[in-house]
Amino acid sequence: MWLSKSSVGRKVVMSVSGVALVLFLLFHMAMNLVAIISTEGYNMICEFLGANWYALVGTAGLAFLVLVHFVYAFILTIQNRNARGSQRYAVAERPKGVSWASQNMLVLGIIVVLGLGLHLFNFWANMQLPEVLHKLGMHVEPATMENVANGSGYIAKTFTCPVYAVLYVVWLAALWFHLTHGFWSAMQTLGINNKVWFCRWKAIGNVIVTLIILGFLAVVVAGFFGLGALGTIECAAVCC
């Protein structure tokens, strides 16, 4: 099949899946900002999503997109390295016009995936996963079930830890580099490559990605310093 066997087809799959993930991140960032304004409002959103069928379908779809995006990225990187052969060792300096991010997309992608794993450990494993296990008839501690919708509590618990706060900042920095390059690269792959609109989409992409990262960073900072509504969460109220 053209989309899976040709280099251009793989790039198209990567571009479409990447743009879809950027749109999800925009939604997820906007949702997380609610926690700074109202912990009750944020917890209501978490309860609404929970382990309902539509949330589970969405989670499965996102997992599929991430898997496809990463696998295709890995295949294309190996393919490009093999095509360059020994020439990849010939130049030590970065070629003119080639960004640092474009030369390190695989490394950035690995950091992003590792950060995603940390995020799943801190939040998904404590919220949606226990609900799924409970619905499957498996034993889940009552205290865990009581806190499955306490998203604000998990934010406070996670980001008051300096180690987690620093790790998330590193993750967000890698995500910014990965997305700013990936967005305009996707537009180019999808055919938006004339000089006028290519430059415009590059600027639009940079703005969107920067807003996404700043939004997530605001939640990390608010959680670490106890700002906004997150500052009203008492230690006893934070799930443990």
What does the pLDDT read at residue 96? 55
What does the pLDDT read at residue 141? 93
What does the pLDDT read at residue 110? 87
Residue with tokens 């040709």: 6
Residues of the chain short of pLDDT 70, as ranges, are 1-5, 83-102, 192-194, 234-240
What does the pLDDT read at residue 238? 46
CB 103 within 8 A of CB 77: no
**Model pTM score:** 0.86
The residue ranges of every structural domain in the chain are 2-86+102-237
What does the pLDDT read at residue 220? 97
**CA atoms of 206 and 159, how far apart (whole Å):** 26
What does the pLDDT read at residue 166? 97
CATH number for region 2-86+102-237: 1.20.1300
Residue with tokens 């609109």: 197
Q: Work out the number of other CB atoms within 10 angstroms of the CB of residue 78.
A: 11
Residue 129, both tokens: 């996963």
CB 127 within 8 A of CB 154: yes
